[in-house]
Amino acid sequence: MIGRTTIRALWLLLLLAPLAAVAASHRADPLLIHVHGLSFSFDGQTLLVPSHAGLAVFREGSWTENSGFTRDFTGFSVTERAMYASGHPGTDARRAAYFGLLKSTDEGKTWQSLGLAGEADFHLLAAGFRSNAIYVASQFPNSAMPMPGLYETLDEGKSWGRAAALGLAGEILGLAAHPVEAGTVAVGTDKGLYVSRDAGARFRKLNGGQPVTAAVFDPGGGRIRYVRTLSNELVNLPLKGPGRRTNRLPGLDGDYVTHLAQNHRDEQALAFSTRGRSVFLTADGGSTWRQVARGGDLP
């Protein structure tokens, strides 16, 4: 089942106190409001953070706001050829206003519809960096998806296939598409981390015992990085053989990680965002982290 029950449970479990709203005097900054994705740019020089206020851009130590399409993004993923996203305009979350699947080839300045406009708003979306595969978790049926579930497209939304998802348990909290292999996808749920090598037909459990809210493959696709939420750890796991490594994440004071991004030009560079709208970067594979946003407030 895909839902928000587990997110609410995690929120209560980790005892996150409500964060104060940013004052109106800060509205000139691209505020991070309900962050729904996290990706590095094609060239790896920029971190892109979609939210209810549009697309925030972190480059060379400072934040700016994308001057193009400023709407309420939900699912968001960057490949070497394009950006893919979903969402709805501003605070209008009516089904009729949903964007469906969107694509941009000019770094988010303009977007084209690939279908399902007025029908779908994908909060979980992952695209393979070089594979052409796009995976989404659909919460509601639409004209291309007769029932909720995990879906894949290899032709930018012209056709969709629903995954049988045998062996997958729990609520879907995060998706990761393999950078090269179209049929390989990882899913984080409240029950652990699962990986499929056949486009979601069958899943193998790689880690259990606690929720996994975010995961990414490394640039070569041989390893997967994922977050063990309750222990606040970043795990670096090979898909085959030994070599598991674990790094403690910075203290989050009851907050927890919701999105994880891999720089495909630099294996050691990653970023994560949190439910409380904070953003951290690492340049050494997770040994040390630098905070670049706190509670949605951008320095």
pLDDT at res. 189: 97
pLDDT at res. 80: 95
Number of neighbours of residue 95 by Cβ within 10 angstroms: 12
Report yes or no: 74 and 123 within 8 Å, Cβ to Cβ.
Answer: yes
Burial class (CB in 10 A: 0-12, 13-18, 19+), 56: buried
| Residue type at 260 in one-letter notation | L
pLDDT at res. 3: 54
Run of H or E including 158: none
Q: Which one, of 47, 32, 37, lies nearest residue 270 by Cα?
A: 47
Cα 255 from Cα 133, distance rounded (Å): 32
Q: Which residues of the chain have pLDDT under 70?
A: 1-34, 52-53, 67-71, 90-96, 296-299
Run of H or E including 13: helix 5-13
Predicted confidence (pLDDT) per residue in 210-238, tens digit: 999 999 999 999 999 999 999 999 999 99
Q: Supply the CATH classification number for the domain 5-10+35-293.
A: 2.130.10.10
pLDDT at res. 208: 76
pLDDT at res. 21: 30
* Distances from the Cα of 25 to the Cα of 31, 55, 114, angstroms: 12, 19, 37
Instruction: Count, in order, helices (H) and strands (E) of the chain.
Output: 1, 24
Cα 4 from Cα 26, distance rounded (Å): 30
pLDDT at res. 26: 35
